[in-house]
Amino acid sequence: MKLHFRSLTTAVLSATFVTGAALAGSHSAEGNKAVQARKALMGMNGYHTGLLGAIAKGEMPYDAAIVNASAANIQALAAMERATLWIEGTEQGAVPDSRAKAEIWINPDDFGAKFADLEKAAAAISGATDAAAVGAAMGPLGGTCKSCHETYRGPEN
């Protein structure tokens, strides 16, 4: 029981710490973790886009389960809540390794709209019945990645 109570106290204290970090992302360990977490999210976007691209190019055999799972996972990644990942004060230059432009926090609605575009483009890939159909839907998908990167991702560090 005692141990249980102590873990609970620790959990509550950590939650308080995270809330504080959200208010002042820069110079905080939690801000740095947020950068790593959102880069992992983007890495998963890259992984699933890579699978779809390989199928579209015939480098991997067409497999409906892989196509639909990749599309569903990109949709889920695009729909993730942003408050814990895109913490204000974690823009490029403010914390190590970040390439997120400060414009994200100046135009949060537009940034969110670009994720909504990605979600729609990924949904359009579900049910593609052959490699050519996957390829046809890849153009619009890649366009949504590119559009956001051009606007909201800074140069390489």
Decide whether 125 or 131 has the Cβ nearer to ligand HEC: 125
Decide whether 118 or 134 has the Cβ nearer to ligand HEC: 118
In the chain, what's the furthest Cα-to-Cα distance?
A: 61
Sites of contact with ligand HEC (CB under 6 A): 35, 38-39, 42-43, 45-46, 49, 74, 98-100, 111, 114-115, 118, 141, 144-145, 148-149, 152-153
| Shortest CB 18 distance to ligand HEC, Å | 18
On whether the CB atoms of residues 144 and 78 are closer than 8 A, the answer is no
On whether the CB atoms of residues 86 and 38 are closer than 8 A, the answer is yes
On whether the CB atoms of residues 69 and 55 are closer than 8 A, the answer is no
| Shortest CB 152 distance to ligand HEC, Å | 4
Look at phi and psi of residue 60 and say left if phi exceeds 0, alpha if psi is from -120 to 50, else beta.
Answer: beta
| Shortest CB 100 distance to ligand HEC, Å | 4
Which residues does 149 contact at the CB level (< 8 Å), separation at least 6?
A: none
Decide whether 45 or 126 has the Cβ nearer to ligand HEC: 45
User: Look-up: residue for tokens 């740095």?
Assistant: 32
| Shortest CB 88 distance to ligand HEC, Å | 13
Decide whether 43 or 93 has the Cβ nearer to ligand HEC: 43
